[in-house]
């Protein structure tokens, strides 16, 4: 019943209010397996509701895109790749813990995979307290994962998690999205382009982040390595800032309210050494060795750490 002269603001407010309800983690439509601090939006494969809600979300995203209204939604790249009909691989995995485990399996070079990992071609999960299992291929529960077939296992596992396990939920979402966008030129876009059109380039105010940062382990805002860190942030590229934020917090997006609302910490992780910086993304904590006054060393080590945190993909 509230009236307003719409120069775009009322429309944006409408979309934001509606999206806040539809993307509410408490609705049961979205997975919360990534922890309370996760800003990731992913389909809940165990949702007990019908698929109309997902269809409505798809329509909402399509209408927002059509009307050039940005949404505060944190879909992983996998969703945009699926909407564009692109193949998915290990690099698109949503669950970083599972992704890391599968990567470790692929990297393991000894011949005792079966004895060390004790895996078979099936997956297990809990739904409302009930243990469930699903074979990744016929006879999978009796087929051990070995050094010869581990690549097949990873491919099937990724397909199950990103495609098969959420098929009804995602299919309804895509159907709603395409109801609005089916005659558009989506095939001309890359996943990152589509994401940019949906959520925009987030306003990342690193000065606000710096003002709200806490220091632990003996550091304070005047520590030489801390001053050099913020100098690096100021002088580096926007892309590197995004990657640095992802490296330290697990997400390249700011929380609602901006980076000033992020509880970010820089913690000393030992004396000067050749060790690379690391992070505890669950606690938004950057672990930074004391490189002292050596700015070049910090820049090289931090830049390398940010680059090497990127995942590897299956073709």
Q: Show which residues are catalytic.
A: 282
Three-state SS annotation for 246-294: HHHHCCCCCCCCCHHHCCCEEEECCCCCCCCCEEEHHHCEEEECCCCCC
How is residue 43 annotated by DSSP?
A: B
How is residue 49 annotated by DSSP?
A: S
Question: From the centroid of its chain, how far is CA 187?
Answer: 23
Contact (Cβ atoms closer than 8 angstroms) between residue 117 and residue 98: no
Residue 8 CB-density burial (10 A; 0-12 exposed, 13-18 middle, 19+ buried): exposed
CA dihedral 116, 118, 124, 128 (to 10 degrees): -70
CA torsion sign for 238, 244, 245, 247 is positive
How is residue 218 annotated by DSSP?
A: T
What are residue 160's phi and psi, to 5 degrees?
A: -65, -45
Helix or strand (DSSP H, E) at 74: none
Q: How many Å apart are CA 165 and CA 126, to the nearest integer?
A: 13
Contact (Cβ atoms closer than 8 angstroms) between residue 305 and residue 289: no
């Amino acid at each position: 019943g509230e009236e307003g002269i719409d120069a775009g603001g009322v429309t944006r407010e409408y979309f934001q209010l509606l999206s806040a309800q539809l993307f509410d983690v408490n609705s049961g439509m979205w997975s919360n397996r990534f922890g309370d601090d996760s800003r990731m939006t992913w389909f809940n494969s165990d949702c007990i509701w019908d698929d109309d809600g997902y269809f409505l979300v798809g329509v909402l995203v399509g209408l927002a895109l059509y009307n050039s209204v940005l949404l505060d939604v944190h879909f992983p790249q996998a969703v945009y790749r699926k909407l564009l009909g692109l193949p998915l691989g290990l690099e698109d995995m949503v669950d970083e813990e599972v992704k890391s485990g599968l990567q470790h399996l692929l990297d393991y070079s000894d011949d005792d995979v079966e004895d060390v990992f004790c895996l078979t071609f099936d997956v297990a999960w809990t739904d409302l307290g009930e243990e469930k299992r699903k074979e990744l291929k016929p006879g999978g529960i009796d087929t051990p994962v070995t050094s010869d077939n581990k690549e097949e296992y990873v491919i099937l596992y990724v397909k199950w998690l990103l495609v098969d396990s959420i098929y009804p939920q995602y299919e309804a979402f895509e159907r709603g999205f395409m109801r609005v966008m089916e005659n558009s030129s989506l095939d001309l876009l890359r996943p990152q382009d589509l994401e940019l059109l949906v959520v925009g380039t987030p306003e990342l105010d690193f000065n606000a982040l710096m003002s709200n940062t806490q220091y632990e382990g003996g550091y304070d805002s005047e520590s030489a390595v801390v001053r050099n860190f913020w100098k690096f942030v100021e002088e580096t590229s926007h892309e590197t800032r995004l990657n640095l934020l992802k490296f330290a917090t697990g997400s390249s997006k700011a929380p609602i309210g901006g980076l000033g609302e992020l509880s970010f910490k820089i913690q000393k992780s030992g004396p000067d050494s050749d060790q690379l910086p690391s992070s505890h993304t669950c606690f938004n904590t950057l672990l930074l060795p004391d490189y002292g006054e050596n700015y070049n060393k910090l820049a090289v080590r931090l830049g390398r750490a940010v680059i090497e945190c990127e995942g590897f993909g299956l073709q």
